[in-house]
Amino acid sequence: MIDTFRNLEPKHFKDHELIELTLVQIEKDFDSIELNLRAVEKGVDYFSDLVTDLSYTVESLMTSHPEKLMNVLYRIDLPENLISQTFSNPSPTKKISELILKRELQKVVLRKLYS
């Protein structure tokens, strides 16, 4: 799993501008699914607070619309082996949320790096 996000450095998780761009990317990939991540306060633990907040949406999707969640994970382009490993955990919602945010942050970082 570490190799999956090798482009991400600790500084990226603290960069509020990158995280804001990540939120835009998440909203795009989540398409018509309602999110309320903008209400998270931009503090020291901004990234981890977003993981916690996103986990509520992921949990809701897992219980009521699992097919929508799978579509989102596919659209985000998370590796299938990571998704399978995560779903085998007893409490996967927070880990799935973390993977979503890391992958979306990775997209933003790579776009900035190569544009």
Q: Residue 26: pLDDT above 70?
A: yes
- Percent of the chain whose predicted confidence (pLDDT) is above 90: 57
Asked whether the predicted pLDDT for residue 39 surpasses 80, the reply is: no
Token representation of residue 95: 């880990």
- What's the average model confidence in pLDDT over 89-106? 93
What integer best gives the mean pLDDT of the chain?
A: 88
Q: Which amino acid is at 99?
A: L
Determine if residue 31 is left, alpha or beta; phi over 0 gives left, psi from -120 to 50 gives alpha, anything else beta: left
User: In the structure encoding, which two tokens stand for residue 88, read together?
Assistant: 């085998």
Angle at 98 between CA 42 and CA 9, to 5 degrees: 75
Q: Would the pLDDT of 2 be above 70?
A: no
Question: Residue 60 pLDDT more than 80?
Answer: yes
